[in-house]
Amino acid sequence: MTGKRKSGMGFTIFVVVVLLIALAVVINVTKSNGSEAGAGGGAALPIKGYQAPDFTLKTFDGQAVTLSQMKGKPVFLNFWASWCPPCQAETPDLVEMHKKYGDKISFYGINLTQQDDQQKALDFIKNYKIDYPVLSDAEGKVSDLYRVQAIPTSVFIAPDGKIVELVQGLMTKQDMDRLFGELASTK
């Protein structure tokens, strides 16, 4: 009986240690994502309710755009690549939304140029008649900053610079219209 009890206790200790390690990992991940209690206000994280991380990127024709200089007006960011089928499917609706809401919201496409071909991106812009500025994330720094894991990824930012919605993946036209309508009414 002593042998069974020792091995049973050893297993129990093993399970407790594994659970404690798992708990420590969960706490660390939660803190690194900014989800701990009381967080919010001033931190810059790519999470709903937080300040949008600031960046400066250039358009394909060389004009610098800095996010923090746009405070006071709602901003929409859309991370995409020319080879991405959901991006291709979503773009005509985004162009239409820009026509509808472009006077109230600053629209910016962010091409993942590090993972794309610049000429294909330019062809994409021309073919889809994108009439809002498209920024080149040639080094992947902004997509890393926003923790883009799937494309398209869309970020809706209120005039105060806080993220009001973050959508990974394809949006329906109805979702876009609702989200753009809500963003356009933020003050």
How many Å is the maximal CA-CA distance in the chain?
79
Going by the DSSP 8-state scheme, the letter that residue 43 receives in this structure is -
Please confirm whether the linkage preceding 133 is cis (ω < 30° from 0). no
Q: Please spell the DSSP secondary structure of 102-130, one letter per residue.
A: TTTSEEEEEE-GGGS-HHHHHHHHHHTT-
Which of 177, 2, 148 minimizes the C-alpha distance to 79? 148
User: Which amino acid is present at 66?
Assistant: T
- Give the span between the Cα atoms of 75 and 158, in whole angstroms: 7
Q: Tell me if 113 sits within 8 A of 138, measured CB to CB.
A: yes
- Give the span between the Cα atoms of 163 and 183, in whole angstroms: 10
Catalytic residue among 52, 75, 87, 163: 87
Angle at 58 between CA 53 and CA 61, to 5 degrees: 160
Active site annotation includes 84:
no
Catalytic residue ranges: 87
